[in-house]
Amino acid sequence: MSLFVRLADWQSDRDAIRSVRQKVFVEEQQVPPELEWDEFEESAQHFLIYHDNKPIGTGRLTGGGKIGRMAILKEARGLGAGLELLQRICKFARVSGQKNVYLNAQVQAVPFYEKAGFAKSGDEFMEAGIPHVRMDLTLSDKEPSENADDCER
């Protein structure tokens, strides 16, 4: 199995990013398209994860350390791609000088983010018709070892 994550650019990688998010959020989860695409697309740092050279997931990091739009194609779930993607986003945030990151997790995904070290930090709320909760993580100050990941600090 070959998984790899790379930095993505909204201008040049828009089709791949949109394809994954369209399938996961708009089609599968019924998020209205007008809520899926927002004013942060061009300014966010996007990420794409590939399996066998095919884009299977995406996520982004916006100002203030907010991780968002994490999506893995249904047929690619269970490969460890979500955790790999999250770890890379956390590492990028730490290397970029962020001390903390946060995200609005779908309630059903809370256990996934808790396993990665995130902690709930607020009450449940609705976003795009789906229950969410804010989760926060303090990033490690030290350089992680080869086998460590920033999302468990």
68-83 per-position pLDDT tens digit: 999 999 999 999 999 9
User: What percent of the chain stands above pLDDT 90?
Assistant: 86
- Mean pLDDT, the chain, as a whole number? 91
Q: Is the pLDDT of residue 148 over 50?
A: no
Mean pLDDT of all residues in 115-123:
94
Q: Is the pLDDT of residue 12 over 60?
A: yes
Mean pLDDT of all residues in 123-127:
94
Q: How far apart are CA 142 and CA 126, in angstroms?
A: 36
CATH number for the domain whose boundaries are 3-152:
3.40.630.30
Question: Exposed (0-12), middle (13-18) or buried (19+): which is 48, by Cβ within 10 Å?
Answer: buried
Contacts 24+ apart (CB under 8 A), 29-36: 29/128, 29/130, 30/129, 31/128, 31/129, 31/130, 32/128, 35/128, 36/128
Residue 152 pLDDT: 45
Instruction: Map out the domains of the chain as residue ranges.
Output: 3-152
Residue 140 pLDDT: 80
- List phi, psi (to 5°) of 59: -165, 170
pTM of the full structure: 0.90
Q: How confident is the model at residue 63 (pLDDT cuts 50, 70, 90)?
A: confident
**Residue 79: how many CA atoms within 13 Å on its side-chain side?**
19
